[in-house]
Structure 1
């Protein structure tokens, strides 16, 4: 009997089951903010007009005169780096559909330098630059768990600068304008908080005056109206709260 009792003492103790780790269900609902960088390319076509008030100055002669004043169109394409930040809010409902709103502000290196020859043979140089721009957009998409496909569109705004030069004279100016944007993208959630995205936006800032000034001898007035439309692609990272 003592031997049997000793053997019973050596029996293995029962092992308690380990509770499974349950991963929280991911949702796109919540506020987020992040950074992005990419490339933009577009057309910066500019209407130039020279309206004489007396004998033509060098700048107005270079552009040339027609009925009612000199007029010319400078067509050019431009490209450059873009980068900035965004913040927004998403709401996920009915399991898969996601709606939200986002605002962003971008530094822009999109610029162009166009060269032409005026009516009197003088060279004309026109530099145009999108200095910065931003958007305020609505978003709507469909989520495949952690993968989101979305479309977006809304308001665009930004500052456009111009500098017009001929031998012996130059002038510059800028214009802050409003337009529209539309595009789409894909986004993937790496964790409950961090997401990565790739996005395309078409940004149209429209046409507005950047230069509307008299020449240095005050005998004519020059206007420049760039028409700005850009295609942009960018990658970004967001932190979701």
Structure 2
């Protein structure tokens, strides 16, 4: 329901922007903001947390939705560099494993990211790009075993890489499709995330 409401809101805004008079806007130059939604897969082998080691060893597919904002800078006729920040949440994305009386669960609550994009304009309205950056995820952690039942909040952070294509639909509205891989693990944690995201942005 949240995804539908957010998508409908941006669609209305995009329609208003497309039909309202506006000054000429150079494509992929300047600030922008938008929403995105798509598929998310959390894959966790093990996680060293504040309440102990969680041996999850499974994965979970889910939906995700979020917002993003950034700034495009054309450094040549065909090259665009961008800085971008985003915030997102998943839906039914807890990764849980139960073996006998032992339970290990990591339930992501929200995620934010800071990244950069490097893109190439294949024509005046279409940008293909690669991206990379920093990811930070807040999650609820639960571990039940023979010794005790423990619950706490924890933070996982790491890096992400990906790429996609973005096309201007009007002078100020664009749509994009992107794949992103994130590694939220460390020496004692193996936590991977795969995402396919579709987004719509308004360029100011």
TM tier, smaller: 0.7 to 0.9
88 and 172 in structure 1: CA distance in 2 versus 1, 3 angstrom threshold: same
**Structure 1 residue 197: Cα displacement:** 0.6
Say whether 1:239 aligns with 2:190. no
Across the aligned residues of Structure 1 and Structure 2, the Cα RMSD in angstroms comes to 2.5
Q: TM-score, normalised by structure 2?
A: 0.78
8 Å CA contact 2:56, 2:96 repeated in 1: no
Query: Can you list the C-alpha shifts for 1:151-173, whole angstroms capped at 9, x where unaligned?
Result: 00011111122112248952111
Runs ≥4 residues deviating over 2 A: 23-27, 46-49, 71-74, 165-169
Query: Can you list the C-alpha shifts for 1:127-167, whole angstroms capped at 9, x where unaligned?
Result: 21122111111110111210110000011111122112248
196 and 47 in structure 1: CA distance in 2 versus 1, 3 angstrom threshold: closer
Unaligned segments of structure 2, at least 5 residues: 1-22
Name the SS for the 1:183 alignment partner: strand
Q: Which residue matches 2:7?
A: none
Of residues 106, 123, 140 in structure 1, which corresponds to 2:118?
140
| 1:218-237 equivalences in 2 (<5 Å) | 227-237=190-200
Q: Which residue matches 1:160?
A: 139
8 Å CA contact 1:35, 1:86 repeated in 2: yes
Q: Which residue matches 2:5?
A: none
45 and 140 in structure 1: CA distance in 2 versus 1, 3 angstrom threshold: same
Quick check: which has more Rg, 1 or 2? Answer: 1
Distance 1:169 1:177 in 2: 23
Q: TM-score, normalised by structure 1?
A: 0.67
Query: Can you list the C-alpha shifts for 1:38-72, whole angstroms capped at 9, x where unaligned?
Result: 111131122579xxxxxxxxxxxxxxxxxxxxx88
Unaligned segments of structure 1, at least 5 residues: 1-22, 50-70, 118-122, 209-224
Q: Which residue matches 1:130?
A: 108
25 and 102 in structure 1: CA distance in 2 versus 1, 3 angstrom threshold: closer
